[in-house]
Amino acid sequence: MRAIDVHVHPSTRGLDHHACRYFRRDLSEVPQTAEAFAALYIKHDVKAPLIGWHPSTVKGGSRNSNEHVIELATRFPDAFPGILGSLDIHAEDLNAVADYAQELARNPKVLGFKFHPPDQGFYPTERRLYPIWEVLQGSGKPVMFHAGFTVLGADTEGGSGIALDYGRPVHLDTLARDFPRMKIIAAHPGWPWEQELVGVVTHKKNLFVDTSGYLAEQLPEIFLKAIGGRLQDKALFGTDFPYVDLEKALASFSRMNFKESVKEKLLLTNAKALFGL
């Protein structure tokens, strides 16, 4: 196994066209059948837990879902070892959501969970959500939260109603304090709060971070320095596929002036340990 890509959206459903334009991603380059999607990851000897969350900005076509990504992981285990499940944190009955979270956590295909606070419109520190976080902490499975800027709604009037403040890294600092046994992954370097993100991940042992949304040479300088040094045991390779090209991301990391031992941690070892792969 060459790498584990911890941040992958299925290119078979739920493609956000604003995000594709932002990343200048030609849709003809994106595999949109399940077979082609899996073949790409197998070709590059990379495994990827698939994210079940569906962006609010995608109104047309078939919706992404936990069921869809579980099906993909079941059909193509050589590419997709499992999923990061999604939950409706605005449901009327949050006790039912907590029960569903417990059910998902018992599924061996569910390796963790993923939330997008700016798009889902919530702060991770909202007390109404704490019973759900208790369940996820008890599961022992990592929980990923989007951090920082989002391409969803970018360069649209009012950002399509999406507020960046929900994704401030400091909110994850409070969550990591209140749930010290929850393994929390901040998705992305947290720009424009990359310094804040480096600070909270450094401070809280149960906080981790992925590199997704960027090629390695595009990462903020303070973040790049941190993951090559103090945070080398807490950083995880991620692409944000299909918006960032897998092959380009791998080539970008290979060009970085990191020690080989650090590259191996970032690309493979840290994720294997965190997700039990």
Tens-place pLDDT, residues 215-267 = 999 999 999 999 999 999 999 999 999 999 999 999 999 999 999 999 999 99
CA distance 213 to 49: 16
- Residue with more model confidence, 156 or 89: 89
Q: Model-level pTM? A: 0.96
Copy the structure tokens of residue 91. 């449901």
Mean pLDDT of the chain: 95
Q: Evaluate the CA torsion angle 240, 242, 244, 250 in order and state its sign.
A: positive
- DSSP, residue by residue, 95-140: HHHHHHHHHHHHSTTEEEEEE-HHHHT--TT-GGGHHHHHHHHHHT
Query: Environment class of residue 15 by beta-carbon count within 10 Å: exposed (0-12), middle (13-18) or buried (19+)?
Result: buried
Measured in whole angstroms, the distance separating CA 124 from the mean position of its chain's CA atoms is 15
pLDDT confidence of residue 167: 98
Long-range own/partner contacts, residues 66-75 (CB < 8 A, 24 or more apart): 66/104, 66/110, 68/10, 68/12, 68/13, 69/10, 70/107, 70/109, 70/110, 72/10, 72/12, 72/34, 72/37, 72/38, 73/49, 73/109, 74/109, 75/34, 75/38
pLDDT confidence of residue 34: 97
Percent of the chain residues topping a pLDDT of 70: 100
3-class DSSP state for residue 51?
Answer: strand
Tens-place pLDDT, residues 37-79 = 999 999 999 999 999 999 988 888 889 999 999 999 999 999 9
